[in-house]
Amino acid sequence: MTRGYKIIYWISTGWLSLGMLSTGLVQLLRVEQEVDKITQLGYSDYILIILGIWKILGVVAVLVPGFPLLKEWAYAGFFFTISGAVFSHLAVGDDVKQLFGPMLLLILTVVSWYFRPQGRRLMPLGGRTINQ
């Protein structure tokens, strides 16, 4: 892995982790603006607790060394959660500016996943890393 790839990985992973941790905490603490936003999207407010816990656990999984299968699950969870947010905003007719945060996190998720070092990749049965 080149030095440039490592820099891209750590910058995207750092921003992704910060974004997911901050939104997870806001959701877990059930901040009034977040409760209003989730109900405007048509969801019950109890989903904030579920999303908050899973986002925080996902950040831990992505940042802790080892556990490549757990990292794959965390990245998949981030992707599904954030793409669901994008589609939810589109479904209720929100402005394009409402899509900026989720789209940025979606891009950071894909970039972080793609540029992750070999030690953080899932090894198939043949022993070679995926995405070489």
Interacting residues of 109 by C-beta distance below 8 A, sequence separation 6+:
16, 75, 78, 79, 82
* pLDDT band (50, 70, 90) for residue 128: low
Residue 130 reports pLDDT greater than 70: no
CB 8 within 8 A of CB 115: yes
Give the residue, 20 or 119, on which the prediction is more confident: 20
Alpha helices of the chain — where are they, by DSSP H? 3-28, 32-40, 47-63, 68-91, 100-114
Which pLDDT value is given to residue 118?
85
Residue boundaries of the structural domains of the chain: 3-116
Which pLDDT value is given to residue 131?
54
Residue 19: CB atoms within 10 Å: 20
The pLDDT tens digits of the residues spanning 52-85 come to 999 999 999 999 998 999 999 999 999 999 999 9
* pLDDT band (50, 70, 90) for residue 119: confident
- Of the candidates 56, 66, 6, the one whose C-alpha atom is nearest the C-alpha of residue 28 is 56
